Amino acid sequence: MQTSTSALAVVDGCGSHLISLCQVKATDADADQFGEIEYSLYDGFNFYEKSKAFQIDPHTGQIFVSQDIDREGDPTTYDLLVKATDGGGLSAQAFVRIEIEDINDNQPVFEQDIYVTSISSHTQPGAEIINVVATDRDSGIFGIVTYELVPGEFSSFFTVDTSTGIIYVTSALGHLAHSAVFLTISARDGGGLPSASNAAVTVNILQTVLVPAMFERSRYSFSVPEDAPEGSVIGTVKAREPSNSLEVISYRICSGDLHGKFSIDPQFGIIRTKKQLDHEAQSVVVLTVQSQLGDSPVYSSTQVNISVTDINDNPPMFLTKSDKVTISHTQPPGTAVYIAHAEDKDSGLNGAIKYSIASEQSDAFSIDPSLGVVNLTRTVLAEKQQEYTLQIAAEDCGSPPLTSLLMLTVVIEEQKMRPTLVFQSLVYQVEVSEATSPGAQILQVQAHSLDPHSVTSNLTYSLEPSTDSVAFGISSDTGWIYLRKHLNYECTHMLSFRALVSTSEAENLRQNASTCIIVNVLDENDHSPMFMHESYFFEVEENPIPSGVVATITAVDKDSGRNGQLSYFLLSDGKYFKMNSNTGSIL
């Protein structure tokens, strides 16, 4: 039997509707039933629960996506072993690598909803007043954020840097009669998705001739290792007082430090760590620091970019310390028998993993250093050695490198006699709606003997007890599987269990066989949308000019796909307010 190895790309968020990705193909030179091939995802990686994101058609070898995939939360690559088994029990394996491509499924989010600053009415055009910051979880161009000043009553006096979010004064403010102006900043990612909500900026205009202490730089950049102890100095910002001023300058962090991990010396502007940092949780921090001259109500601000550099503080981790795999002694050299998979939370070289076989017990196996695929290098005979123990090492590329081990037991199975009692399929798949009533028949399994002289009229069918099989029953004489209780798509999308069959002969002559049953549960629109709150109260200032988004109402629906997509609308006449049907924003 022959198979192949392949790799492909899958788009992030492609859903749970059994989308076909690729097809593996095996050939068998035997005829009749011994040449019939059944495909399955190999037991060698079943401990890795995330592999349940995929299923394989047992007859065609088509691999499907069976659940939602999120590139931001799930692995970016999946390594699968596919097993092809013929009617006589002989098998072969193929390795498939699936890479997840990012799509633009995350909107930019502002770090703060409201920004407030105060400036003098004599502030000169070109002065920086405040920095707004939004982030996007997507990668590449989809994660790049640009900013825009939403047109309004006072927007002509200001501008925003489209790439940094820094707001500048563009016109003299001395003739403004208002004590405060209100600006709205929107954000958009590289794929065109707008921010979930805009940032509201309040600029207090102080009628004073006082000039603020101006920072020497409009932007500072520092770096600090993630293992820096609390109180470590990161860098210093400095503002200069106006000429002829005897007032003392003070400093404070006004935004960007959501988790209170930094502090600033109010007298000298020295920025220090206040808590333990973690590169894996937040690699870049953008602070806005303000300077104030004495008790002056006006102040200036600067942007401080802090890069938290990675330290090799996380070793590669296998999801299990030991595992076992069984292979036939007929497997040819080059066969993939197992995938060793470790994860390292570090980034760059500190998170890059290379695999090796640490034990020198046998030369029968090799491992791909980058993929972790264990391959046979020669034929193995069960009569010489029934099992091999391999110590697989996962080592990162940090300095110094960190390592973890996996003990893999490879059991060599002798060629068994061809079974005389077999099911018509090694794997059965059926789709069942969650609305199907208990008692309904969903699938019939049937077994027969490969021996033409054997009589199989007295067969008894049963289900192997498991948490997935409790929802089903089986007719012991006909093999019809039926529902015993309602299914719930929201609890589980797929159920897998085994059906058993045996002859009614004496125990020493009894023949047995088993098959795998996969039930894909189909969603029904059985949940109504639910608002997050029963009632909402919002205050809106009287203004002849529309102020944009007033608030956003959010509802959730437990259903999936189109059944879970929501549209919002107002029951009123909409004279004063309108609602965005997609986002629930009230305008």
Q: What is the mean pLDDT of residues 523-549?
A: 75
Contact between 267 and 279 (Cβ < 8 Å) = no
pLDDT interval class at 505 (50, 70, 90): low
Q: pLDDT digit string (tens) for 154-170? A: 889 999 999 989 899 99
Split at pLDDT 50, 70, 90, the class of 151 is very high
Least confident of 135-139, 322-326, 577-581: 577-581
| Residue 3 pLDDT greater than 50, yes or no | no
Amino acid identity at 408: L
Residue 244 and residue 197 share a domain: yes
| CATH of residue 495 | 2.60.40.60
Domain boundary, last residue among 504, 522, 540: 522
Q: Do 4 and 75 fall within a single domain?
A: yes
Global model pTM greater than 0.85: no
Q: Which of 77-86, 243-252, 346-355, 370-379 has the lowest mean pLDDT?
A: 77-86
Residue 8 pLDDT exceeds 70: no
Average pLDDT (484-488) is: 90
Which two tokens mark 103?
Answer: 């799509």
Contact 128, 168 (CB under 8 A): yes
State the average pLDDT over residues 362-376.
86
Q: Let me know whether 412 and 451 are in one domain.
A: no
Query: Considering 76, 102, 128, which residue would you say is the last residue of a domain?
Result: 102
pLDDT, position 251: 94
Q: What's the pLDDT score for residue 6?
A: 47
In this structure, the answer to whether residues 387 and 487 fall within a common structural domain is no
The reply to whether 23 and 81 lie within a common domain is yes
Task: Give the Cβ contact number of residue 235 at 10 Å.
Answer: 15
* Domain identity same for 287 and 353: no
Q: Are residues 377 and 434 in the same domain?
A: no
Domain boundary among 382, 416, 450: 416
Measured CA to CA, the distance from residue 44 to residue 64 in angstroms comes to 19
In 75-157, which ranges are E strands?
77-86, 91-101, 109-110, 114-120, 128-131, 134-135, 145-149
Domain holding 564, by residue range, is 526-587
Nearest to 157 by CA among 116, 205, 197: 205
Q: What would the pLDDT profile of 179-236 be if each residue is shown by its tens digit?
A: 889 999 999 999 899 998 999 999 888 877 667 788 888 789 999 999 999 999 999 9
Q: What is the pLDDT of residues 87-118, one digit of tens each?
A: 777 777 777 877 777 778 889 999 888 888 88
What is the end-to-end Cα distance of the chain in Å, rounded? 65
For residue 5, pLDDT beyond 60: no
- The answer to whether the CB of 483 falls within 8 A of the CB of 460 is no
Asked if pLDDT for residue 485 goes beyond 50, the answer is: yes
Least confident of 295-309, 414-428, 473-487: 414-428
Residue 11's pLDDT is: 46
Least confident of 251-265, 268-282, 369-383: 369-383
Does 187 lie in the same domain as 280? yes
Highest-confidence segment of 132-141, 236-245, 401-410: 401-410
Instruction: Report the candidate in 274, 221, 282, 210 with the shortest Cα–Cα distance to residue 247.
Output: 210
Q: Do residues 125 and 257 share a domain?
A: yes
Task: Clarify whether residues 291 and 331 are in a common domain.
Answer: no
What percent of the chain stands above pLDDT 90?
Answer: 24
Average pLDDT over all residues of the chain = 82
Total structural domains within the chain: 5
- Residue 47: pLDDT band with limits 50, 70, 90: very low
Q: How far apart are CA 379 and CA 329, in angstroms?
A: 7
- Token pair of 310 as six digits: 């990675």
* 437/477 same-domain check: yes
Task: Enumerate the β-bridge partners of residue 382.
Answer: none
- Contact between 24 and 109 under an 8 Å Cβ cutoff? The reply is no
For 547, what's the count of Cα atoms within 13 Å in the CB-facing half-sphere? Answer: 15
Question: Do residues 299 and 358 both lie within one domain?
Answer: no
